[in-house]
Amino acid sequence: MKKIMFNDKYGLTQAVLDGRKTMTRRAFYIPDKLALTYYVETDNLVICETQHNGDVIEWRDSNDNVHMTFQPNYEVGEVVAIAQSYKDSGYDADSLDRHPKDLSVRGLMKDSAGWNNKMFVKSYACKHHIKITNVKVKRLQDILDEDCIKEGVYRLDSANGSGGIAYSFANASDKKHIGLYDTPREAFAALINKVSGRGTWERNPFVWVYEFKLFD
């Protein structure tokens, strides 16, 4: 089973577990070998819809011949583990390490690499899962307002006591709103630049758009 990681600093893992986040965008990058050796550029890429498994990306030449098909990391119907640290997953700190690096030495869970870092937690040890329900390929900036909400942006009524409506996202450590934005798109643009790096929104890359539901 595969696992998927959501950003914890801005509360996106918790948003998935709460059912507030049901969509995620993951940037597609042309592999360096293709870009440098075969001069593949985004102009050579075509989005194609399959019958059952959502969209794929095809690399075609000027004669419309297909040379390569890029598949998404996750397929429609696939159940994927939500990555969390052992601590956040609720494991007993004083129990034996689930996956010690040295199998001959089993220390306590609280001393394991995965206690605070979910990168070291195997998918079988994750307690929660999502099920992929749809896969699309879009440009990042093609996102709709309603999809920004599905991405974890939320609406604030009576923002700053003014009676107006604003949109934002939160810092998970103190639950404070990070900026107030007039539209969901503006809030999502700020969020994606924090999660994926400054300038991501402006680059407007192709993205895999995964829709999902909380499985358990």
98 assigned to some structural domain: no
What are 52-109's pLDDT values in tens digits?
Answer: 667 888 877 777 788 778 888 999 999 999 999 999 999 999 988 767 665 555 688 8
93 assigned to some structural domain: no
Which of 48-52, 66-70, 163-167, 175-179 shows the lowest per-residue confidence on average (mean pLDDT)?
48-52
Asked if pLDDT for residue 34 goes beyond 70, the answer is no
Q: Which residue has the higher pLDDT, 6 or 106?
A: 6
189 assigned to some structural domain: yes
pLDDT at residue number 63: 77
Strands (E) across 50-193 are located at 55-60, 66-70, 79-82, 129-139, 154-159, 164-168
40 assigned to some structural domain: yes
156 assigned to some structural domain: yes
Percent of the chain past pLDDT 90, that is, above it, reads 54
Domain region containing 167 = 3-83+126-214
Q: In b/e form, how buried is each residue of 49-86, taking b as 16+ CB within 10 angstroms?
A: eeeebbbbbbbeeeeeeeeeebebebbbebebbbbbbb
Distance CA 35, CA 102 (A): 40
pLDDT at residue number 68: 79
186 assigned to some structural domain: yes
Q: Which residues lie closer than 8 Å to 51 by C-beta, 6 or more apart?
A: none
pLDDT at residue number 16: 97
Domains: count for the chain: 1
Residue range 20-47: mean pLDDT, rounded: 74
